[in-house]
């Protein structure tokens, strides 16, 4: 099974949000099979590395998918369509080759545009990749797509993506009329080409006392490249670093954690990932330099999604960084994915991300400390120019904590808290060598703080909020 994903949003924008409706008396064979998968999907927040019975529904779902592919190929497309209509927009099925290509920074015959359909509003560019034909042609984030090959863009996602696929297949060109954020209407005709998204990813460009590092994706090797750039910044004696995650749609969460470890020298709780039946806790290992503590400014925009939001949120949360640019996309959910027998893989949203204080940026995005818009009509990068004037070399050390502390929000006082929550604390405590405390907070503001490892040692099947209060 591949690692846990925190993004690439562009890969999954074709999916709908509508739930499937089933009338029991009229179910077809395909609908019965799809319903079984959906029921398993709804319960399956477990991954193979979790203990005991928590593996059950996840593995049952993957096995059932594989069984259908092998034994009922005729119904597979219909079943798949029903399943895809029942999940959130971040869950998807795709050929593994397409998945791997999406995570490869060396693009082959791509135009570098990602678009999103906004209900009742239309189609918008959310990404124009660096070095791509789109960026070279002047396509900018926030451009509203009005026509594609002369045809007005439909006001629904399925028809719109079908139109784009059809015209691209017929002509080989990505041609559209778009309205730029400043209101200017412009026509683009893009020819797919090869380009390297991360040609400069391992560099730290120094101007005066400030270094500049760009992170294009959070895919394999991005953490090593960042570590090399960070070391270069230290060796060149910079006092401030600008980290640019604009137009970064995410990637693997473990890459993000490794980058945080490169920056942070303290052992700190980072985020917790809450599933239906459990919790995964993440903390930094405190492996960053204790002597290199530059002031950090992070550049964000609307296409900074998922893993770059985690990086931004954590560094801002602990006072390591401030941010400049535009509010981020707002994706604080993660997917778990697995391979199927027919060369496909599927990913399902398995968890929600929270900061240690229980807050989340899901749907809302992360607001910058200073909002600056880049002017698409100028060659200058106004956001970057402002960032150079904004850094003030004011980085201050974070006090080394003596314990790890997470706040977990509950919807009601009688909500049951499974033992797996406390098992996660025990694993993290053993790994980090510190006590782990949970503060459970009910909707009415009532809260209780417990030593999670001590609670785990009592080994009950589950706990109640009221029971922990006593």
Checking if the pLDDT of 416 tops 80, the result is: yes
Most confident of 196-205, 295-304, 331-340: 295-304
Of all residues in the chain, the percent with pLDDT exceeding 90 is 46
Residue 80 pLDDT grade (very low, low, confident, very high; cuts 50, 70, 90): low
CA–chain centroid gap for 223, Å, is: 16
- Local confidence band at 377 (pLDDT 50, 70, 90 cut-offs): confident
- Average pLDDT over the chain, rounded to whole? 82
Kindly tell me the burial class for residue 53, based on how many C-beta atoms sit within 10 Å of its own C-beta (0-12, 13-18, 19 or more). Answer: exposed
CB contact at 8 A, 283 and 404: yes
| pLDDT 10s digits, 120-168 | 889 999 888 888 999 999 898 889 999 999 999 988 888 898 899 999 9
Q: How far apart are alpha carbons 191 and 173 in whole angstroms?
A: 5
List % helix, strand, coil for the chain (3-state, nearest 5): 30, 25, 40
Q: What phi and psi, each to the nearest 5 degrees, are found at residue 24?
A: -55, -40
CATH assignment, 109-196: 2.30.42.10
Contact 250, 217 (CB under 8 A): yes
Please determine, for residue 459, whether its predicted confidence score (pLDDT) is greater than 90.
Answer: no
The pLDDT of residue 1 is above 50: no
Decide if 241 contacts 383 (C-beta within 8 A): no
Candidate from 29-33, 97-101, 198-202, 353-357 with smallest mean pLDDT = 29-33
What is the per-residue pLDDT for 305? Answer: 93
Residues of the chain with CATH 3.40.1350.10: 404-469
Please say if the pLDDT value at position 21 is more than 70.
Answer: no
Torsion of CA 70, 73, 75, 79, to 10 degrees: 60
Q: Are strands 240-244 and 210-214 parallel, antiparallel or unpaired?
A: parallel
Provide the pLDDT for residue 19: 33
Contacts of 401 (CB under 8 A, 6+ apart): 266, 267, 268, 434
> Residue 223: exposed, middle, or buried by beta-carbon count in 10 A (0-12, 13-18, 19+)?
buried
3-state DSSP assignment of residue 305: coil
Mean pLDDT calculated for residue range 84-89 = 66
Q: Give residue 101's pLDDT.
A: 78
Q: What is the model's pLDDT at position 378?
A: 81
Q: Does residue 165 sit in helix, strand or coil? A: helix
Per-residue confidence (pLDDT) for residue 464, from 0 to 100:
83
Query: Is the CB of residue 300 less than 8 Å from the CB of residue 311?
Result: no
**Residue spans in the chain of domains classed CATH 2.30.42.10:** 109-196
Q: How confident is the model at residue 219 (pLDDT cuts 50, 70, 90)?
A: confident
Q: Return the percentage of the chain with pLDDT > 70, whole number.
A: 79
Is residue 347 predicted with pLDDT exceeding 60? yes
| Band of pLDDT at residue 43, cut at 50, 70 and 90 | low
Report the pLDDT value the prediction gives residue 18, as an integer from 0 to 100: 29
Nearest Cα to Cα of residue 376 among 91, 142, 93: 142
pLDDT computed for residue 54 by the predictor: 40
Q: Which tens digits make up the pLDDT trace of 331-343? A: 998 887 777 666 7
The whole-number pLDDT of residue 270 equals: 93
Q: What pLDDT is attached to residue 212? A: 96
**CATH class given for the domain over 205-390:** alpha beta
Q: Which fold has domain 404-469?
A: Trna Endonuclease; Chain: A, domain 1 (3.40.1350)
Residue with tokens 């189609």: 123
Q: Residue 305: CB partners within 8 Å, gap ≥ 6?
A: 7, 9, 248, 249, 250, 328, 329, 330, 331
Higher-confidence position of 90 and 297: 297
Q: Pick 395 or 8 by higher pLDDT.
A: 395
Nearest to 266 by CA among 315, 332, 214: 315
The CA distances from residue 191 to 99, 109, 171, 198, in Å, are 22, 8, 10, 20
pTM of the model: 0.80
Q: What is the mean pLDDT of residues 77-97?
A: 71
Q: How distant, in Å, are the alpha carbons of 18, 38, 60, 81, 189 from that of 35?
A: 15, 5, 14, 12, 43
The total of other beta-carbon atoms located within 10 Å of residue 2's CB is: 16
**Cα Rg of the chain (Å, integer):** 23
Q: Which residues pair with 31 in a beta bridge?
A: none
Please say if the pLDDT value at position 53 is more than 50.
Answer: no
Give the pLDDT score at 341: 62
Tokens standing for 34?
């799809």
At 69 the pLDDT is 65
Task: Please give the helix or strand (H or E) that residue 309 lies within, else none.
Answer: helix 307-317
- Whether residue 40 has pLDDT greater than 80: no
Q: In terms of DSSP bridges, do strands 279-283 and 92-95 run parallel, antiparallel, or are they unpaired?
A: unpaired
Comma-separated ranges of CATH 3.90.226.10 domains in the chain: 205-390
Per-residue pLDDT of 206-218, as tens digits, reads: 999 999 999 988 9
Report how far residue 151's alpha carbon sits from residue 162's, in angstroms, rounded to the nearest whole number: 12
Comparing 116-125, 223-232, 356-365, which segment has the lowest mean pLDDT? 116-125
pLDDT band of residue 198 (cuts 50, 70, 90) is confident
* pLDDT greater at residue 50 or residue 63: 63
pLDDT score, position 12: 32
Beta strand 447-451 pairing with 436-441: antiparallel
Assess whether pLDDT exceeds 70 at residue 52: no
Q: pLDDT tens digits, residue range 242-261?
A: 999 998 989 888 999 999 99
């Amino acid at each position: 099974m591949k690692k846990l994903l925190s993004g690439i949003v562009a890969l999954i924008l074709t999916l709908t949000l509508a739930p499937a409706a089933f009338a029991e008396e009229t179910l077809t064979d395909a609908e019965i099979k799809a319903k079984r998968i959906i029921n398993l999907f709804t319960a399956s927040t477990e991954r193979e590395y979790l203990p005991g019975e928590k593996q059950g529904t996840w593995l049952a779902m993957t096995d059932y998918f594989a069984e259908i592919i092998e034994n009922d190929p005729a119904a597979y497309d219909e079943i798949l369509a029903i399943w895809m209509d029942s999940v959130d927009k971040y869950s998807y099925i795709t050929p593994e080759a397409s998945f791997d290509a999406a995570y490869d920074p060396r693009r082959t015959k791509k135009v570098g545009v990602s678009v999103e359909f906004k209900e009742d509003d239309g189609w918008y560019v959310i990404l124009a990749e660096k070095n791509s034909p789109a960026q070279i042609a002047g396509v900018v984030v926030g451009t509203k797509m009005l026509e594609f090959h002369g045809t007005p863009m439909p006001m629904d996602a399925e028809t719109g993506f079908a139109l784009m696929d059809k015209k691209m297949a017929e002509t080989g060109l990505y041609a559209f009329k778009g309205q730029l954020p400043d209101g200017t209407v412009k026509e683009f005709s893009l020819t797919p080409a090869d380009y390297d998204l991360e040609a400069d990813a391992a560099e730290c460009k120094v101007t005066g006392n400030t270094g500049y590092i760009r992170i294009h994706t959070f895919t394999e090797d991005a953490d090593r490249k960042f570590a090399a750039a960070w070391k270069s910044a230290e060796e060149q004696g910079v006092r401030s670093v600008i980290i640019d995650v604009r137009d970064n749609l995410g990637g693997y969460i473990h890459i993000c954690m490794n980058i945080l470890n490169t920056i942070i020298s303290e052992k700190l709780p980072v985020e917790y990932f809450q599933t239906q039946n459990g919790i995964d806790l993440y903390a930094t290992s405190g492996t960053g330099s204790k002597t290199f503590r530059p002031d950090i400014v992070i550049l964000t925009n609307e296409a900074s999604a998922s893993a770059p939001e985690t990086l931004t949120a954590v560094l801002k949360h602990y006072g390591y960084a401030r941010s400049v640019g535009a509010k981020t996309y707002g994706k604080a959910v993660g997917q778990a994915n697995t391979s199927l027998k027919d060369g496909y893989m599927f990913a399902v949203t398995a968890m929600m991300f929270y900061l240690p204080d229980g807050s989340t940026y899901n749907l809302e995005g992360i607001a910058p400390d200073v909002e600056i818009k880049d002017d698409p009509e100028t060659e200058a990068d106004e956001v970057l120019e402002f960032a150079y004037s904004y850094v003030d070399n004011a980085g201050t050390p974070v006090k080394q904590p003596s314990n790890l502390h997470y706040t977990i929000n509950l919807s009601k006082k009688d909500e049951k808290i499974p033992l797996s929550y406390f098992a996660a604390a025990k694993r993290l405590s053993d790994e980090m060598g510190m006590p782990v405390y949970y503060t459970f907070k009910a909707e009415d503001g009532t809260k209780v703080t417990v030593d999670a490892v001590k609670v785990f040692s009592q080994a009950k099947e589950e706990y109640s909020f009221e029971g922990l209060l006593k």
